[in-house]
Amino acid sequence: MDNHFCYSECFLCKKRYRVGPNIYDGRRIPAYEISICMLCYRSNWDGFTKVDAEKIEAHLKANGLHIPKRNEKGWLPRDGEFKLVEIVGIDFS
Ligand SMILES: [Zn+2]
């Protein structure tokens, strides 16, 4: 029962990581519809820079997904951009 996992490939670094019950070697980012390894996820806590940001933006564009604004550092926010106004139609800001 300890071997119930499979592998997924990190969207950014292309390394394989394990996916399964109680295994947290990677993470899905719903806003971008990608999965990345925990090393990439943790090391980009303050946003994706240059090559990674361009790779994600190209993926978003190709799939017709929302491209969030860059953060104050000019980097792509790691978990996307939550826009409540787009979901409920009321601007709470
Ligand atoms: Zn990675």
pLDDT tens digit string along 4-41? Answer: 899 999 999 999 999 999 898 999 999 999 999 999 99
Q: Round to whole Å and give the CA distance between 6 and 26.
A: 12
Confidence band for 78, pLDDT divided at 50, 70 and 90: very high
CA 9 to ligand 1 center in whole angstroms: 8
CA 10 to ligand 1 center in whole angstroms: 5
Among 72, 9, 4, 82, CA closest to 40: 9
Average pLDDT over residues 74-81: 92
Task: Check whether 84 has a pLDDT greater than 60.
Answer: no
**pLDDT > 70 fraction of the chain, expressed in percent and rounded:** 85
pTM, whole model, 2 decimals? 0.81
Q: Round to whole Å and give the CA distance between 37 and 40.
A: 5
CA 5 to ligand 1 center in whole angstroms: 18
CA 78 to ligand 1 center in whole angstroms: 13
Q: What pLDDT is stored for residue 36 in this prediction? A: 97
CA 53 to ligand 1 center in whole angstroms: 13
| Averaged confidence pLDDT in the chain | 89
Domain boundaries, the chain: 6-88
